[in-house]
Amino acid sequence: MTGTFAERLASLTEIRARRPQAVADAAARRVRRSTLLGPSGRLMIIAADHPARGAFGAGDRPRAMADRTDLLERLCVALRRPGVDGVLGTPDIVEDLLLLGVLDEKIVIGSMNRGGLAGTSFEIDDRFTAYDSAAIADRGLDGGKMLLRIEDEDPATARTLESCAHAVSALARQGVMAMVEPFISQRTGGRVRNVLTADAMTRAIAIASGLGATSAYTWLKVPVVEDMERVMAASTLPALLLGGEVPADRDTALAGWRKALALPTVMGLVAGRTLLYPAGDDVAAAVDAAVEVM
């Protein structure tokens, strides 16, 4: 960590302890962008909401995202790169970035349901424990993101479906994006795993597209799987690609993003660990390579 960044970061806890109103003040001062899509017609978002689910791993580093100082510095590096439009995060991370003053003219998406903690027996019962639609509007954020995992054998899926539908409707009333990340999931060996097949993603997208009283503000966040042409034909909603895990072969991942970005409903990319913790640890180079693909 650079000396300058270390000094800036050292002040965050002091500000939080002595002047908690500074968070709201920083949100009010933030210069917002007038449109979601930038001049390129694409949207490039850096995701950093994993720690609130107790998920810290990135590639072969099981606790990579557990170091908040290191994570924030990586986020600041990524947000400074040309072509990066914004960030997706939980309130704690977004507020740190607000206090650091790095979110002017950036798209900020608040992560909403983080109650389905990784590895727990209640993981599918994904409660809304972070941002709600009112807080997203009050803080001047540009949208809210929710994860929807559909597990056919787990009754908690119905509660999560209903909660996501209410959130889609509430965000639409505020006139901001509802970003839905849908999966068909299965519990295997005590762990919830997403089914990354074309048929499963087609079903997940169709279900997610119908959530809420209106789909006018709904965007999808989807992984790159086989037969993406057929998968993305399941909906007319705008979609962003999910960066996913740190890839073993970066070139293959980039090629998959490039091919999927050519589809008419795909508007950009949301990537977190794959860009923040790349092989070789060069965050700037990893982000630049993703922007070049876009």
Total tally of structural domains belonging to the chain: 1
Whole domain around residue 171: which residue ranges? 3-293
pLDDT of amino acid 250 = 82
- Half-sphere CA count of 55, side-chain side, radius 13 A: 20
Give the strand pairing for 86-89 and 143-150. Answer: unpaired
pTM (2 decimals)?
Answer: 0.95
Tokens at 152, concatenated: 């056919």
d(Cα 268, Cα 110) in Å, to the nearest integer? 18
Residue 4 parent element (H or E): helix 3-18
Tokens at 289, concatenated: 């390579």
pLDDT of amino acid 248 = 72
d(Cα 141, Cα 100) in Å, to the nearest integer? 16
pLDDT of amino acid 166 = 98
Q: Name the 3-class secondary structure at 139.
A: coil
d(Cα 251, Cα 80) in Å, to the nearest integer? 23
pLDDT tens over the chain, length 294 residues:
455 777 778 889 899 999 999 999 999 999 999 899 978 889 999 999 999 999 999 888 999 999 999 999 999 999 999 999 999 999 999 999 999 999 999 999 999 999 999 999 999 999 999 999 999 999 999 999 999 999 999 999 999 999 999 999 999 999 999 999 999 999 998 899 999 999 999 999 999 999 999 999 999 999 999 999 999 999 999 999 998 776 777 888 889 999 999 999 999 999 999 999 998 899 999 999 999 998
pLDDT of amino acid 1 = 45
CATH for 182: 3.20.20.70
List, as own/partner pairs, every contact residues 290-294 make where C-beta atoms lie below 8 angstroms and the sequence separation is at least 24, other chains included: 290/44, 290/243, 290/254, 290/257, 291/44, 291/81, 291/82, 291/83, 291/84, 293/254, 293/257, 293/258, 293/261, 293/269, 294/40, 294/42, 294/44, 294/83, 294/261, 294/268, 294/269
pLDDT of amino acid 191 = 92
pLDDT of amino acid 3 = 58
pLDDT of amino acid 246 = 67
pLDDT of amino acid 104 = 97
